[in-house]
Amino acid sequence: MPDASAVRSMFARIAGRYDLANHLLSGGVDFWWRRVLVRRVHDARPRDVLDLATGSGDVAFALADGLPAGVRILGMDFCQPMLDEAVKKRVASSRWHPIEFRQGDGMALPLGDAQFDALTISFGLRNMADRHKSLTEMRRVLRPGGRLFVLEFSQPFAWFRPVYYTYLKYVLPSIAAVVTGDRGAYEYLCGSIEQFPDREAMRAEILRAGFKSVRATPLTFGIVALHEAQA
């Protein structure tokens, strides 16, 4: 599992260029992934949403744009420089002003029990030092019947793996080095993607944390999956 202090330091170093790198390295497909996530959250009709590992806030902002006015959105991350970027961006739209951003550790959430109807975490679960502990914390802060949405890298369809892993190992770190100046950060991220469980294994982990009705939707040839579960 990743070292929490090393992950925090890494994200602090790349915070200012994180959004640009994401859009370039995904070829813009990250916008579509977020739209799929927001549609699923919208269908759950939550009153209160926690966006965990919110980073620079892109998912929180997409939720604010896609959910009815009045839905409470809290974005939480353990890396303050990433949250600082989110706060800077929040002024761009009046719909974003009510979003609250707060620092917090995903393995010991500074929140009471049963506070949210929905919890989203996008590309953050694989960076948790203890996935099981973080998943049980997510379940704790969800109300009974609340919905968990995990958007995360997964293992691609077999026919696509040679192309995908060639890109991950040789192309992506080189582009990231130019964009962010930190090749090492993206070599770590690529390694974390390779080692992350596939859809069935991730489904089993979510069930072990006490969730039920877990379903996984593969996206973009399976390189990403959206897992949905009920507390």
Q: Judge whether 112 lies within some domain.
A: yes
Average pLDDT, the chain: 89
C-alpha of 20 from chain center: 16
Give pLDDT, residue 1.
63
184-197 pLDDT tens trace:
666 767 777 888 89
Q: Judge whether 18 lies within some domain.
A: no
Average pLDDT over residues 64-89: 94
User: What distances in angstroms separate CA 49 from CA 96, 106, 149, 151, one per listed residue?
Assistant: 14, 15, 11, 15
Does 18 score more than 70 pLDDT? no
Q: Judge whether 185 lies within some domain.
A: no
Does 162 score more than 70 pLDDT? yes
For residue 228, the surrounding DSSP H or E stretch is strand 224-230
CATH of the domain at 112: 3.40.50.150
8 or 121, which is more confident: 121
Angstrom distance (rounded) from CA 101 to CA 93: 15
Give pLDDT, residue 6.
61
- Structure tokens, 166: 């060639």
Region at 229 (left for phi over 0; alpha for psi -120 to 50; beta for the rest): beta
Q: Quote the pTM value.
A: 0.92
- Structure tokens, 60: 């929180």
Q: Judge whether 126 lies within some domain.
A: yes
Average pLDDT over residues 140-165: 95
One-letter amino acid of 93: S
How many structural domains does the chain have? 1
Q: Judge whether 147 lies within some domain.
A: yes
Q: Judge whether 222 lies within some domain.
A: yes
115-135 pLDDT tens trace:
999 999 999 999 899 999 999
Give pLDDT, residue 222.
95
Q: In percent, how much of the chain has pLDDT > 90?
A: 70
Q: Judge whether 178 lies within some domain.
A: no
Does 90 score more than 70 pLDDT? yes
Q: Judge whether 160 lies within some domain.
A: no
Does 218 score more than 80 pLDDT? yes
Note down the domain range covering 48. 4-11+27-155+197-230
Average pLDDT over residues 15-41: 80
